[in-house]
Amino acid sequence: MLQIDALAYSDLRRALELGLCPTIARLLREGFALRRWFCGLPSATPYCQAGMFHGENSGIPAFRFYDKAARKVITCNAPHGVQYIRDRIHSPGALAGGSSYVNLLDGDAQTVAFTVATREKISVYRRLGGTRMALLMLLHPIRMARMVLQGAFEWLLEEWERARGEIAGRVTHAEGIFPFIRILSNVVVRELQTMAILLDVYLGVPIIYSTFMQYDELAHHFGPSGKQALVDLRRTDARIAEIWRMAQLAGGRGYDLVILSDHGMTPALSYRVKYGESLGATVQRILDEAPRSGKPAPRSLASYAEDTEYADIGPEVVEAVAQLTPASFGARKGIRRFRDWLRSRYGLREIIFPEKYRVDRINDVVVTYSSCLALVYFTATEQRLTHEQILADSRWSRLYERLIAHPGIGLVATVSAQGVALASRSGRASLRDGQVENISGENPLEIFGTDPYVLRAVESLVGQSNAGDCVLFGSYDGYDIISFDDQVGAHGSAGGDQVYPFIISPERLGLASEILEDARDIHRTVLARYAAANAENAPPEASRLTPVAPGVAV
């Protein structure tokens, strides 16, 4: 299974029409089936991969969220944040006995590389692939030379595009580490994961799941339909061609190939750029404007995607290289000096703003951004506040009403005695058991989608025990959605193509007739079936997969 991260069904169709994915086009002509599916909410990789690998994805309300009891922000851009999620998953993984490459979670895979969180604690060196990946690099000097040249080209291309965008006033991102991220993902990781998959196919590893993350990185910065993001799909398509060719030539097991995305992406406008301040600044400003009663104004803390979350990725990679290097001749010491320089140069924000991600008792409100989804927590109590409790407190009710009235916020959802309370500038409603009851004005979910599966997904998201006391969707006009991070492509909430990924599979799997309304359904209809067929005690006939009736658990 090959995942093209964040590629929406509609954007794949656009790429096919432009001739950017010839391998995928050929597969569709040769008997593979393409369909759209609904990924559930939040439309984010940790939620989706947990559902696909384990059939269990509760307790993941966003890419970034807040643990009230532990008083800390959980961010999936940091290994400890993903490990927090992994440690709370107890269902067996469908990748047992197989390989996991470039995934957030391991799915109980036996072999991992560039996989962030695993069931057993392992070193950064092993998470990057360990000695096996190092040997692959040594055995392919031509590919390594190509990686160096492509990396230099990618750096120059990024600097040119950044300078051109700044002159034109189009660039909204300010991640100083992004050139490193782009080279790492677009060149190094893509080449290494392809080599590892080719070796696994040759050896007959029973199940392999790998994520091509390059489109997601580029689409966040240049837009899901941007030239940079779509054209880069050519490289991923070429790697898929290599893998499928190897599967046909050397895959004695008779491999099936499934290509899919975990979620899509919607064109976005930056909240900070459009309104001149971050959402966290908006919240603090509203709190500061509250009538004084002799007490200091409540304090807020905002957690969002800036250099901070990426700051130590480069140094950790360099440290892994240092561990591989012999201690003789001072080479290891030199590499570690470079590591320290890299940390000081690109981790500068950690020194200037050491309090950014430390949540302590002075913070009465915590705001976490996950692209176009934001969560607001009132931290005086570890228990989640209900709609009625928020309205009963003058501080929080004022903030609640002001957020609803803000043009950059399209939906504010809270848990109430009647289910889920929905509010927007256009109206208020109650959502319960998948049914919306209008209270005043228009249905707040009208623009985001009113299909039954959307309503169930919104209700499930807001109902998660560790979701915010207020769940915010960015304002959506039918094309652009407001992103609380500085992004021009967003996903996390409902609205647009972000909730509609694609899946390509052999027609004999019968997915065309399956109900796919959450990432857990991919586990049920695809991964769990292969896991059962690959189990040690499986009868021989189990390897011949046949379609199952829709809704039947395996």
Question: CB-hemisphere CA count at 13 Å for 493?
Answer: 34
| Structural domain boundaries in the chain | 2-39+49-56+91-263+497-543, 269-308+359-490, 312-346
Higher local confidence (pLDDT), 515 or 172: 515
Q: What is the pLDDT of residues 245-263, one digit of tens each?
A: 999 887 556 899 999 999 9
The answer for residues whose C-beta is within 8 angstroms of residue 268's C-beta and 6 or more apart is 371, 372, 474, 480, 481, 482, 483, 487, 488, 489, 490
The reported pLDDT for the residue numbered 346 is: 45
**pLDDT band, very low/low/confident/very high, at 137 (cuts 50, 70, 90):** low
Q: What is the pLDDT of residues 261-291, one digit of tens each?
A: 999 999 999 998 899 888 988 998 888 887 6
**pLDDT band, very low/low/confident/very high, at 302 (cuts 50, 70, 90):** confident
Q: What percent of the chain has pLDDT over 70?
A: 75
**Token pair in block for residue 87:** 């440690």
Is the model's pLDDT at 408 over the cut of 80?
A: yes
**pLDDT band, very low/low/confident/very high, at 190 (cuts 50, 70, 90):** confident
470 to each of 27, 170, 329, 373, how far by Cα in Å? 45, 31, 57, 11
Q: Which of 179, 180, 183, 178 is nearest to 148 (CA)?
A: 183
Check: CB of residue 470 under 8 Å from CB of residue 66: no
Higher local confidence (pLDDT), 508 or 502: 502
Least confident of 2-6, 14-18, 69-73: 69-73
Phi and psi at residue 539, in whole multiples of 5°? -65, 155
